[in-house]
């Protein structure tokens, strides 16, 4: 198979893309604070001659438009910019210089790939029809998410016919990409529970309402919802990720705070979860004489990849990489992504970019302090975005 010229050109950009990614990696920024990252992107895109609209909806989000000057569709390519509040322990030479913050989800690579795609497509401008809009989005990691803000307050989907994004994935080997038509990811919501009891001495529990003991029962009751009040053909997950209460071994505490997430593939089940959870939590607390505050915060809806557009994307990826390097993902996953807000409004596809390399020890999952990625994936990601866009805007010609 003869190498696609677009992929060959992308590989020549590898050093540039690595430098971009590592610079962003060294200077991670949390949700809605991505000032430096956005400026890096703005400068790069402006140098390509693209018109840039920055500070969308009062955020650091920006849109850069590559306009062919000829009638045709408009494709949006989105990259998220924010990092996570995780101390880095990857051992890389380009470690985060911001204490307690790192790009543990690969958004640094997403930005580098999108910028690389912008350069590749700018070089192909004469072949295009229509427009490509490159979106650098804030706050994917902080529900309700930057996508929702940019859409509802910034109007960035006006005139957009389709949307495209990639996400690095540590289960897929470098050199490969993964696609799935239809449902890709789950609803992702959050909850807070504050249990209020009566504190006292550890030797006299009968004079107290032990908030820790109540919290244990609340935790178990929530898992009862998963196993006995849910259709097993429409699974959901309730995870209590944080429990805090008590300060001393001989004191029965009066307050426990619990935080967690719910993950659900089915729209109807997701809609019913808050009422079911609150009923169970309040029931347990009433039975144990505790008071409770229950808060449920909607995060991201389930992400659906448009079947027709996804099939177009798969054909483009196979033409670029070869059929053996394009994986069809067998089933939806319980992760969440605010790209779902785009997919609910226009035909959209989010695909997986493989970054795993066992030989190099690059095996850790996203959101891990040890997460890193094989940078050979960067030109491949840029080329895949560009090839899909080029085919979409030229009808595959």
Contact present, 347 and 306 (Cβ < 8 Å): yes
| Number of Cβ atoms within 10 Å of the Cβ of 191 | 22
Q: Please confirm, yes or no, whether 267 is among the known catalytic residues.
A: no
Give the other-Cβ count within 10 Å of 21's Cβ. 25
CA dihedral for 97, 98, 101, 107, sign (positive or negative): negative
Written as six digits, the tokens of 114 are 């999108």
Which one of 29, 80, 82, 306 is the catalytic residue? 82
Is 82 one of the catalytic residues? yes
**Other residues' Cβ atoms within 10 Å of the Cβ of residue 258:** 22
As a whole number of angstroms, the distance between CA 175 and CA 157 comes to 31
Task: Say which of 80, 140, 141, 374 is annotated catalytic.
Answer: 140
- The CA radius of gyration of the chain, in Å to the nearest whole number, is 23
Task: Using alpha carbons, list the distances in angstroms from residue 274 to 240, 280, 290, 300, 302.
Answer: 15, 10, 20, 14, 16
Rounded distance, CA 387 to CA 372, Å?
A: 26
Q: Kindly state the tokens that stand for 393.
A: 């805007």
> Torsions phi, psi of 292, nearest 5?
-150, 145
Residue length of the chain: 397
Nearest to 301 by CA among 353, 358, 339, 248: 339
Structure-token pair, residue 4: 């696609």
For residues 71 and 363, give the distance between their C-alpha atoms in angstroms, rounded to a whole number.
45
Q: How far is CA 259 from CA 10, 154, 238, in A?
A: 44, 31, 11
| Residues marked as catalytic | 82, 140
């Amino acid at each position: 198979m003869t190498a696609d010229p677009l992929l060959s050109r992308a590989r020549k950009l590898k050093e540039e893309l690595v430098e971009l990614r590592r610079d962003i990696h060294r200077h991670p920024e949390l949700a809605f604070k991505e000032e430096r990252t956005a400026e890096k992107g703005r400068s790069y895109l402006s140098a390509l001659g693209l018109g840039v609209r920055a500070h969308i909806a009062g955020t650091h989000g920006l849109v850069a438009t590559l306009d062919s000057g000829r009638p045709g569709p408009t494709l949006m390519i989105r990259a998220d910019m924010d990092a996570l509040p995780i101390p880095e322990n990857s051992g890389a030479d380009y470690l985060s210089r911001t204490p307690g913050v790192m790009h543990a989800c690969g958004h640094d690579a997403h930005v580098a790939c999108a910028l690389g795609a912008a350069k590749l497509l700018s070089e192909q401008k004469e072949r295009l029809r229509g427009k490509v809009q490159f979106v650098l989005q804030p706050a994917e990691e902080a529900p309700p998410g930057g996508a929702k803000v940019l859409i509802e307050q910034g109007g960035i989907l006006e005139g957009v016919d389709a949307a495209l994004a990639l996400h690095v994935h540590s289960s897929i080997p470098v050199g490969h990409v993964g696609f799935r038509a239809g449902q890709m990811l789950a609803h992702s919501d959050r909850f807070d529970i504050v249990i209020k009891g009566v504190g006292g001495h550890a030797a006299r529990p009968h004079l107290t309402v032990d908030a820790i003991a109540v919290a244990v029962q609340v935790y178990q009751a929530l898992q009862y919802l998963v196993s006995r009040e849910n259709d097993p053909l429409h699974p959901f997950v309730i995870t209590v990720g944080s429990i805090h209460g008590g300060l001393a071994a001989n004191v029965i505490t009066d307050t426990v705070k619990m935080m967690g997430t719910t993950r659900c593939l089915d729209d109807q089940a997701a809609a019913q979860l808050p009422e079911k959870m609150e009923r169970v939590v309040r029931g347990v607390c009433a039975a144990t004489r505790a008071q409770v505050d229950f808060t449920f915060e909607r995060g991201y809806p389930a992400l659906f990849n448009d079947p027709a557009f996804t099939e177009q994307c798969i054909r483009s990826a196979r033409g670029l990489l070869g059929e053996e390097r394009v994986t069809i993902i067998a089933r939806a996953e319980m992760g969440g992504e605010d790209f779902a807000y785009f997919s609910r409004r226009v035909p959209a596809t989010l695909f997986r970019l493989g970054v795993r390399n066992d030989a190099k020890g690059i095996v850790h999952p996203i959101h891990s302090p040890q997460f890193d990625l094989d940078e050979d994936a960067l030109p491949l990601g840029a080329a895949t975005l560009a090839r899909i866009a080029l085919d979409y805007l030229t009808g595959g010609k």
